[in-house]
Structure 1
């Protein structure tokens, strides 16, 4: 059988705006600069400071890698659409971009689960924390998350390549994401959408359930602590991570709901939700973890302003 595969897609960017609008590109450029510099600074500090070579900081390192991956995956088409009025993207390039966007986005979710599990072990069984969560085991967890993502998203690319695109070659975004592509063809959408739902449940759903269970156990353990000071200290430690989790999953759930009811909603809402979901967490997470973590602030200050002999 033959498939009607387009040679290229047209990225519309943000509906209702004029391509090549420099002023519209300014906030996007600012977000990309903050994301890339902030996450790169975290990686540099963790690598340079031997005292940061610990499980929690290695999790933070993996989170920064995931955030950089998401930002760098979307940056070329977003800026070319907004600044250069270059809206065309090759079919294979579109699928490649979609693969990396979703792989790094799901890696982000998996790392948030790993950080929740790290908090749980540290509070629930602090005496055995060092023996349970070692640096090699954190590395194995990170490798396992990447294997999971690749094994789930490669079949998705195969299914997309088998779709016949009759109706339109226009993608209502500044980048290629899976929910937008199955809206274009007439044939073969059902299997693709069902597998996409399975991937969401197997990644985001599983990670979110594990995070909830971890924090239920953390809260249960914290409430059983006799000292109010220790209880308050343990809760404060978890605040930054809870903020990152809430921002990430609220945006993800909001985007999913927007796509589910896209026939009854404004296309601008869907595009804005997708941009916020992919661009805001990479900007906020370095700020949340750097400002709320005194050790990270000291490490950044030490590297930026070394002591003069």
Structure 2
């Protein structure tokens, strides 16, 4: 038997030569470009799974309404007066609690093997984690806007004006970004997303409630007041409240930036070490 080879398609050789021809390789993306790409990936995940916005939209509304109208009359005699005091604290509590889901999301990606593919890419290695945290910063900003807008509708009147509110939100987002490195470390070291959430809640529950969010620390016992005074969240609430009402001092903002620097300096290298060891 004789077999006949198929006739070559016209233009096949030319296309093959063009595909195999040496070309100039594209430039390697820089750290900022790579981080922004992974940040955009985090936002696309919200687009495809919009249920992730539930904590950003529902929690701020529930917290603000519940604590204002549940405790306002008892603590200040007036819900309107208490709203002026508690809203900056509720804003801080809402956004810092949302940061816990950063570790859970990263842990889920590690469990699925997604990070193994990212590690093989010729990009700046920290961009995977830094980009994910940048994407979460958008969620923090959205939650802050919801709290402020709802507060204004309920009667909140910041004496610091629009500029003070914007500076307060910016300071809160910076602190939340720094705080997220703790949950990133937990997400890379614990086995399941549920364990990440449970451990994070054990940390954040006392860190947010044992503060000056709801009441003046001067009304607390001395031993509790001592803990509240050194709590970084307390300093954050003081600075945010001061920015919104125009009473902030440079020292108050400085303590917050100091806490941010310590959090990043300690947990960012630790998270990168754990990320590099996830072979």
TM > 0.5 fold call: no
Higher relative CO (CA 8 A, sep ≥ 6), structure 1 or 2? 1
Larger Rg computed on CA atoms: 2
